[in-house]
């Protein structure tokens, strides 16, 4: 899917393992740079605002260093965000193991909304393109042993809503995803289209 001789650079403005895997699976080479931003409001607006805030923060950091001028190839900055919505409330990263445990128990036998965004910024032209997608995820009952293992693993303490759909313990407990495509596939398609559009 990616060009054999990549004629541009990509900076992934995210610490998300899932986003790293998506770009790697697409065959792109990239570097990682993260930004600290506040994360609150309407889910669709929030994920776009956070992706933009992350891009702005990273661009300011790059402008403050000689790193951007040193780039020999056109450079694309990819930022993204995801939130989980449960019973109309946006869930942030769990603040404790107890809160993570409650989040997972809430999803057991029920559902949660996942809203994700991606924003691609051409650092040479400043042009930005992006969008958001959502899915409703329905879960089977989550056994206590799985809850305990997820908590012990610790990674769910670092993700929105304590929900990592691609986790090996979570995947078998997903009953149905209501969306035209999986969120990951939509984001892969969006990234490919945005990259192509911004390089033309």
Predicted local confidence at residue 95, as pLDDT: 92
> Please, which residues bridge with residue 136 across strands?
113, 178
How many whole angstroms separate alpha carbon 76 and alpha carbon 38? 23
Predicted local confidence at residue 196, as pLDDT: 65
How many whole angstroms separate alpha carbon 19 and alpha carbon 16? 5
> Which residue has tokens 């990592």?
164
Predicted local confidence at residue 29, as pLDDT: 83
Q: How far is CA 120 from CA 34, 35, 67, 116, in A?
A: 14, 15, 19, 14
Confirm whether 36 is a catalytic residue. Answer: no
Contact between residue 9 and residue 75 where contact means Cβ atoms under 8 Å apart: yes
Contact between residue 154 and residue 134 where contact means Cβ atoms under 8 Å apart: no
Predicted local confidence at residue 39, as pLDDT: 47
The DSSP H or E segment spanning 135 is: strand 128-139
Contact between residue 83 and residue 46 where contact means Cβ atoms under 8 Å apart: yes
Contact between residue 93 and residue 43 where contact means Cβ atoms under 8 Å apart: no
Among residues 36, 38, 81, 144, the one annotated as catalytic is: 81
Q: Encoding tokens for residue 195?
A: 């990259």
**43-76 per-position pLDDT tens digit:** 988 889 989 999 988 888 887 666 666 665 678 8
Predicted local confidence at residue 134, as pLDDT: 87
> Please, which residues bridge with residue 130 across strands?
119
Positive or negative torsion for Cα 153, 155, 158, 164: negative
CATH class of 9-199: alpha beta
For the chain, the distance separating the N- and C-terminal CA atoms, rounded to the nearest angstrom, is: 17
Query: Which residues in the chain show pLDDT less than 70?
Result: 1-5, 35-41, 64-73, 180-200
Any idea what DSSP says for residue 37?
Answer: -
Orientation angle between helical segments 17-25 and 183-199, nearest 10 degrees: 60
Domain ranges for the chain: 9-199
Predicted local confidence at residue 145, as pLDDT: 96
């Amino acid at each position: 899917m990616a060009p054999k001789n990549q004629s541009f650079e990509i900076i992934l403005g995210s610490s998300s393992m899932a986003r790293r895997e998506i770009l790697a699976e697409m065959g792109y080479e990239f570097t990682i740079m993260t930004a600290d931003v506040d994360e609150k409001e309407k889910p669709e607006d929030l994920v776009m605002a956070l992706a933009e805030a992350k891009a702005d923060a990273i661009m300011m950091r790059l402008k403050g260093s000689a790193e951007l001028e040193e780039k020999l190839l056109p450079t694309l900055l990819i930022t993204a965000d995801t939130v989980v919505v449960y019973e109309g409330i946006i869930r942030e990263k769990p603040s404790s193991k107890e809160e993570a445990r409650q989040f997972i128990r809430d999803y057991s036998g029920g559902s949660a909304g996942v809203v994700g965004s991606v924003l691609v910024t051409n650092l040479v032209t400043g042009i930005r393109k992006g969008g958001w997608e959502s899915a409703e995820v329905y879960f089977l009952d989550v056994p206590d042993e799985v809850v305990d293992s997820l908590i012990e693993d610790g990674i769910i303490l670092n993700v929105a809503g304590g929900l990592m759909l691609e986790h090996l313990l979570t995947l078998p407990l997903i009953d149905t995803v209501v969306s035209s495509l999986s969120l990951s596939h939509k984001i892969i398609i969006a990234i490919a289209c945005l990259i192509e559009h911004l390089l033309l």
